[in-house]
A = this chain, B = another copy of it.
Amino acid sequence: MSSQTRSPSGYSTWRLIAEGLRRDILDGAAPSGSRLPSENELAARFGVHRNTVRQAVSALTAEGLVDSRRGSGTFVAAHGTLVHRIGTRTRLSDSLREGSVASGQLLECAVEPAPPAGIAARLRLDGRPALRLELVRSVNGVPVSRATQWYAADSVPGLPKQFAALGTITGALHALGITDYVRASTSVGGRHATPEESEDLGLPVGSVVLEVRALDALPDGTPLQFGVTRFAASRVELDVEHPASG
């Protein structure tokens, strides 16, 4: 393998600095409310120009990880990585800390007469149209995920309307009489966010998303929903449920 493309010049110094500071914040080494070192101190620590540090801090500000207060410095914002459970019965609402508020925004819904073949097979549509929802979910006002969900359109009549009224998919399904469903399969990948995903999630260009592809089914095994959810990796960690661990 050639190393010709691995030159650090291909990746901006400010991004590497932002990454380091982000880890400190998310690992708890720089806890909420603590003051970041000054631009001069950071510039000295990393051996770079103050403008480079400023660009890194500015990226963290855009992500909501730090707040600058004029005259008094830059402080680590109250953030808390959302720990999202992946298990047999996974609901976003189960992952919230006390006092956290989840909200969902429906960007688009559409009935697709001919969804992609992979989707049709997973949902066993057999020629029936699919309902596709495009969603952004936020916790405490900060976007955490961008999801695309498919359903057999005839299995969830009025889902978008119920979602508009109730604000959560779990609530909307409940209103339609679907009170229980279980996770049948989950795969997890990682990649750079597309420009559109970055925009929807309020992330800097080049940020990392965790892409979770999951199939939920009714207790009798009938496929209910296939979803592709892109979680902002700087804000969400996935926690896998193991039966033996209780």
Contact = CB atoms under 8 A, between A and B. Distances in A.
Contact of A184 (B2, B11, B199, B244): B244
Contacts of A10: 12, 15, 204-206
A188 B88 contact: no
Given A4-B62, A5-B59, A237 B185 contact: no
B88 A233 contact: no
A34 B239 CA distance: 38
Interface string A97-109: 0000000000000
A1 interface: yes
Nearest to A63: B1
Contact of A237 (B188, B208, B245): B188
A68 B209 CA distance: 30
Interface in A202-223: 202-206, 208-210
Copies in the complex: 2
Contacts of A184: 242, 244-245
A8 to B, nearest CB: 6
B62 A187 contact: no
A86 interface: yes
Nearest to A142: B1
Report whether over half of chain A's contact residues are helix, strand or loop; otherwise say mixed.
mixed
Interface string A32-73: 000000000000000000000001001101111000000000
A124 interface: no
A177 interface: no
Contacts of A5: 55, 58-59, 62, 204-205
A91 interface: no
Interface of A: 1-8, 10-12, 15-16, 19, 22-23, 55, 58-59, 61-64, 83, 86-88, 182-192, 194-195, 198-199, 202-206, 208-210, 233-234, 237-240, 242-245
